[in-house]
Amino acid sequence: MNQLLRVYIAVVEKQNFTRAAEALYMTQPAVTQYIHTFEKKLGTKLLERSNKHVQLNKAGEIAYKHAKEILGLHSQMQTLIDDLMNKASGNLAIGASYTFGEYILPHLVATLQSRYPLIKPKITIANTRRISEWVANRQLDIGIVDGDVNNQNLTMESFAENLMYIVVSTKHPLASATNLTVQDLINETWIVREATSGTRAATEKMFSQLNFYPQSIMEFGSTQIIKESVEAGLGITFLSQCTVQKEISFGIFKILTVAGTPLRNDFSFITQKTEFRTKTTEVMIDMLQNNKMLQQFLEGLYTVTSLPK
C-alpha cells in the first residue's frame, strides 16, 4: 500500500504521469498501472486526465490529503523504533515562516549538521498558516513561526524574542523627519505581507495599537520583494529587525522612531500534540531552546548601535 500512496502522491505533485515516473525512476506504464490499481481499491476515479497534465477531483483531494498523513505516520513510526537503538539520524522535515526561515534558519541548520551529521534536514519555507497546516497534517516534523497559531492539535512554545520596526528607505522624506505623528503614517503607502503571514498579523496589530489604518496598501507574498520595493521608494513597511539588519548597516534603510514600537512578535516552534517525538525532532527542539549560538546571534541583532533603544 505504501508504494501505491507514494506513486499517487508523486503524480499529484508533478501533475503529470511522465514526470512522476522520472522522479520515481519508474516507467510511465508502471505508474499508470499503480494509479489504476489505487483507484480500483478505492472504488472511484481520483484524477481528471488530459494530454499534458492531471488534476484532482474531490475524491482525489481527500485521497491526497490522507495519503500524505498515512506516509507521514508510517515514517514517524519507523523513525521512533529506530531511535530506540541508534543515535539521532535520518530525515528531519523542518518548516519555517519566511522571517526565520530565510534569515536565521540557515545558521541553525549549519550548526545542526556539524553536531549531528547523520540527520538529513529538509527545509520548507512558507507563511505561518501553511507551516501550521503541514505540521498538523504530519507533512512536517516541526515548524518555526512568528505570531500565533490556533490549532488544538498542535503544541506551540516561544523560544526567542523577535522585534519589529517601521522601516523606510534612507532616501524617503520620513527618514529625516522629526516628531512623527500618526497622520504622517496614515498618508504613506504601506507595503505589507499577505493575510496568512505572521508578519502581516503583527502589522495589523501595530495598526490597531497606534489607532490608525493606512489609506494605501500594497500587498506582496515575499519579504525580499517588500524590501526591494521599500528601497525603490514605493512606500514604507513594518518588518522584523533580523530581516533588515543588513540594509540598516549599509545605510539603505532607516528605522522610524514611533511611540508604541518596536512590537514584540516572538519566534515559536510548533509540533504535533503527541507523547512520542522522534529523536531528530527532540534534537531540533533542544537546539532552539538551549543553543547559545542562536541566542547570541539574535541578541547581537537586537543590540546593534544603529537601532533605536
Q: What is the average pLDDT value for the chain, to the nearest integer?
A: 86
Q: Above 50 in pLDDT, residue 299?
A: yes
51's grid cell: 494530454
The answer to whether 86-161+266-302 and 163-264 have equal CATH topology is yes
pLDDT at 297: 64
The CA distances from residue 199 to 114, 221, 250, 292, 306, in Å, are 31, 11, 23, 25, 22
Domain boundaries, the chain: 2-68, 86-161+266-302, 163-264
Predicted local distance difference test score (pLDDT) of residue 304:
46
Evaluate if residue 257 carries a pLDDT over 70. yes
Buried b (16+ CB within 10 A) or exposed e, 121-142: beeebbbbbbbbbbbbebbbbb
Reported as a single tens digit per residue, the pLDDT across 178-220 is 888 888 899 899 999 999 888 999 999 999 999 999 989 999 9
Residue-wise pLDDT for 23-34, tens only, equals: 888 888 888 888
Instruction: Identify the bridge partners of residue 239 per DSSP, sorted by sequence position.
Output: 165
Check residue 67 and give its pLDDT.
87
pLDDT tens for residues 262-276?
A: 998 889 999 988 767
Whole-prediction pTM value? Answer: 0.66
- Give the pLDDT of residue 305: 36
The CATH number for 163-264, chosen from 3.30.160.110, 3.30.420.10, 3.40.190.10, 3.90.1150.10, is 3.40.190.10
Alpha-carbon span 299 to 309, nearest angstrom: 13
Least confident stretch, 72-76, 114-118, 226-230: 72-76
Class of 2-68 in CATH: mainly alpha
Architecture of domain 86-161+266-302: 3-Layer(aba) Sandwich (3.40)
pLDDT at position 298, please?
A: 66
